[in-house]
Amino acid sequence: MGRIAVSIDNRWGPYEHPACFASDWGAIGPRLRIGGAHDPGALFRMLVVPMTGPFVATYVLHTPRTDARPGRYRSPMMTLGELRIFFERFQSFLNGDGRHDFLIEAPKEPATVLWDRHDLIFVEGNLDHALEVLTTLEFQRGELAVPTPHRHMIDETRNQEETDLLMVMDWQWAELLLADRE
């Protein structure tokens, strides 16, 4: 199951963006907006790994299905090794559920990679590396938009993974930002 679904002939089914990217402007400068990865979690990892650590992860929980509060959960500083272990444990959950966004920041660069709940990835910072990855994977420049109407796919069988993710480290909680609300 993916993160969003669209209605075709009055039936809801999974949606995958075309394999393309576009340039626009983000919080720290130029950025890339990327869609269409068959495995967005793997692409996300490929974009994060060359960043210079330490890293900070932010888990943005929009639609909790446990007794967790909606909000922005910010990790302590993490090494690349710790980040890899986290990905190995939670990539399937992050890949297959639309209740959340996930952001990695490398404050020393500065660089960020955001994987949003619409299955779009946003890269700010090391755009040269991102463009090299996208070219290798044969992504094309193009237009990307979140389809309307759409639904966020939330797999109730994964609720324990939400709890496990929030228990795995000492997250610092903050309210959702206005920009986090759809």
User: Which pLDDT value is given to residue 182?
Assistant: 64
User: Which pLDDT value is given to residue 47?
Assistant: 94
3-class secondary structure per residue, the chain: CCCEEEEECCEEEECCCCCEEEEEEECCEEEEEEECCCCHHHHHHHHHCCCCCCEEEEEEECCCCCCCCCEEEECCCECHHHHHHHHHHHHHHHHCCCCEEEEEEECCCCEEEEECCCCCEEEECCHHHHHHHHHHCCCEECCCCCCCCCEECCCHHHHHHHHHHHHCCCCEEECCCHHHCC
As for how many domains the chain has, the answer is 1
Q: Could you list the pLDDT tens digit for every one of the 182 residues in the chain?
A: 578 999 988 899 999 999 999 999 887 789 999 998 778 889 999 999 889 999 999 999 999 999 999 999 999 999 999 999 999 999 999 998 999 999 999 999 889 999 999 999 999 987 999 999 999 999 999 999 999 999 999 999 999 999 999 999 999 999 999 888 76
- Rounded Cα–Cα distance for residues 39 and 53 (Å): 24
Q: Residue for token digits 């909790």?
A: 64
Q: Which two tokens stand for residue 131?
A: 């463009």
Indicate the pTM of the whole model: 0.93
Range of the domain at 135: 4-180
Kind of pairing, strands 121-124 and 29-35? antiparallel
C-alpha distance from residue 66 to each of 73, 118, 166 (Å): 15, 21, 11
* Whether 58 contacts 75, CB under 8 Å: yes
Query: Which phi and psi angles does 43 have, rounded to 5°?
Result: -65, -45
User: Which pLDDT value is given to residue 109?
Assistant: 87
User: Which pLDDT value is given to residue 44?
Assistant: 93
Q: In 10 A of CB 168, how many CB atoms?
A: 13
User: Which pLDDT value is given to residue 154?
Assistant: 92
